[in-house]
Amino acid sequence: MSINSTTPTIILSLDRIYRLVNKFPAFTRPTIHVTGTNGKGSVTALVASILHETGLRVGRFNSPHLLHVRDSISIGLKPVSESRYFETRSIVDRANDEGDKGEEAPRASLFEALTVTAMRIFEEEAVDIAVIEVGMGGRLDSTNVLPEKGVVKVSAMTAVDVDHVQWLGSTPPEIAREKA
């Protein structure tokens, strides 16, 4: 899947991203994982800034990007370089287009491939801690491929409100259950 590919619909499943992420060495960076409806980006920016000021090398993944897709992935409060982003993204895209042992290619969505790209960059750059913002949210969000054991040190939820009702539910309690 090239960087300009699009997925026509949102398919809530972790199958594709698990097939893609499993083509790479395990993600081992200690992580803070932030979900919610409003304020996720502000919380991840604040947490990353605080941790950076303590001297830690911090990786941050947020969405959506502001100016360029690569600015959703930062290390040390600065977006990764174009060369670093495109080098890793091209490796992820190749893995996304190739099947293994007779299996079909993962064909992960753009956001799923971006999530794996961020994870690979953080792992390869050996950040001290990653601060990762959930995408749309929910138990089937791409960021939920983070290993359950030993990696996620803190999970946080910001305010929850009615959004993405076609995928997450129609009331705040339903949405909060899905996002938790």
Which two structure tokens, joined as six digits, stand for 63? 């969405």
pLDDT tens-digit series, residues 69-89 = 899 999 999 999 999 999 999
Q: What is the pLDDT of residue 169?
A: 59
Q: What is the pLDDT of residue 158?
A: 80
Average pLDDT of 1-15? 58
Rounded to whole angstroms, how far apart are CA atoms 98 and 125? 25
Instruction: Please compute the mean of the pLDDT values over residues 82-97 and round it to a whole number.
Output: 96
pLDDT, average across residues 5-28: 80
Confidence of residue 159 (pLDDT cuts 50, 70, 90): low
d(CA 180, CA 175): 8
DSSP string covering 70-139, please? GGGEEETTEEPPHHHHHHHHHHHHHHHH--STTPPP----HHHHHHHHHHHHHHHTT-SEEEEE-SS-ST
Q: What is the DSSP letter of 177?
A: H
